[in-house]
Amino acid sequence: MFYKRDLSPMLLEEATPFDSKDYIYELKLDGIRCLVYLENNKTTLINKRGKDVTNIYPELSNIHKLCKKKCILDGEIVLIDEGKPNFYELQRRSLLTDKLKIEYYAKNKPINFSAFDILYYDGFDLTKKSLLERKQILLEKIKISPRLSISRYIENEGTAFFNLTKEKGLEGIVAKEKSSKYFFNTRAKSWLKIKNYIEEDLIICGYTIVDDMPKDVVLGYYDTNGILIFRNIVYKGINRFENKILINAKKGKKLFDIPNVKWILPTIVCCVRYMEKTKNNGMRQPVFKGIRDDKLAKDCILSI
């Protein structure tokens, strides 16, 4: 199993805050989910899309030295800025292709991999063990460093922990059943995400132009029948990396009855964060978080 690179991580259901002696509670980090393969002389990072992103984060290239045996870790790539995860800067980093720019950011704004699970160790498949057993193995077998950390957790006090993240302006928490096993590419009710705001991954179908640059993006999603549906128009913000991606995208046909839009093929995915849904299923205070390179457009399915 170790050498397979087509494994997809276990996914989480949405939930509201609760207390339970049967769950542990972790901080939900605003980062990029990855499976990390640590071998004797090599580190490999594979994102949720199945893409090898190792070369984008050279500061993680030696974390295999922190484990004596081959293993697979599940966790998040995180960029900490002023004590908090900065997803915007991380997404900007994830889109870099120029080697010199990658080396500059690796040196001046290094990222961290926060491991919260271990799935394989030294020839043994650990996915059938309970979560708490895996957590103990993770603590015993992996050394921490400035580039590799281990996610900590609390017990029982899920509601209070969630309220604390709201006070601190953090994304939220994750609740996981202590006895839960690990199932690849499965959205399980034993793993729950409890967020302070709503996020949606949507498809960029086109954009408006001001001063020859993209301004607002026209966003859509697929319904459960595979039909592309209009979702919203959101101000994109100024980011030359993402602007270049949109400007160079292949031209597409008109998809919705919206004037003055440059239409592109609906293949680019972005993330939008907002406070709550309006009565008409709109977004209150939507914020464009950035283009996602770790998700395919066909996976942006919503049932609003």
Residues 167, 236, single domain; the answer is no
Residue 179 inside a domain? The answer is yes
Please tell me whether residues 124 and 179 are part of one structural domain: yes
Q: Are residues 25 and 134 in the same domain?
A: yes
Reply yes or no on whether the pLDDT at 295 is more than 80.
Answer: yes
Least confident residue range of 113-117, 198-202, 269-273, 275-279: 275-279
54 and 97, same domain (yes or no): yes
Q: Give domain status of residue 41, yes or no.
A: yes
189 and 202 in a common domain = no
pLDDT for the residue numbered 256:
95
Identify whether 262 is part of a domain: yes
Q: Residue 271: which of 251, 247, 246, 295 has the closest Cα? A: 295
More confident residue, 264 or 87: 264
Q: Which domain holds residue 248?
A: 198-299
Total of domains in the chain: 2
Is 64's pLDDT higher than 80?
yes
Pick the last residue of a domain from 156, 180, 195.
195
Distance CA 273, CA 275 (A): 7
Last residue of a domain, one of 134, 163, 195: 195
Find the mean pLDDT for residues 175-197. Answer: 94
- Check whether residue 164 and residue 202 sit in a common domain: no
Residue finishing a domain among 195, 223, 256: 195
Mean pLDDT, residues 116-141: 96
Within a domain: 304: no
| Share above pLDDT 70 across residues of the chain, in percent, rounded to a whole number | 99
Residues 150 and 24 grouped into a single domain: yes
**Given this model, what pLDDT does residue 282 score?**
85
> Does 3 have pLDDT greater than 70?
no
DSSP 96-137: ---HHHHHHHHHHS--EEEEEEEEEETTEE-TTS-HHHHHHH
Q: How confident is the model at residue 1 (pLDDT cuts 50, 70, 90)?
A: low
Top pLDDT among 20 and 295 is at 20
114 shares a domain with 51: yes
Whether 1 is covered by a domain: the verdict is: no
Helix (H) or strand (E) holding 245: helix 240-247
Same domain, 253 and 104: no
C-beta separation of 56 from 34 below 8 A? no
Q: Is the pLDDT of residue 90 over 70?
A: yes
| Mean predicted confidence (pLDDT) in 137-147 | 96
Q: What is the value of pTM for the model shown?
A: 0.76
Domain holding 51: CATH number?
Answer: 3.30.470.30
What pLDDT, on a 0 to 100 scale, did the predictor assign at position 121?
Answer: 95
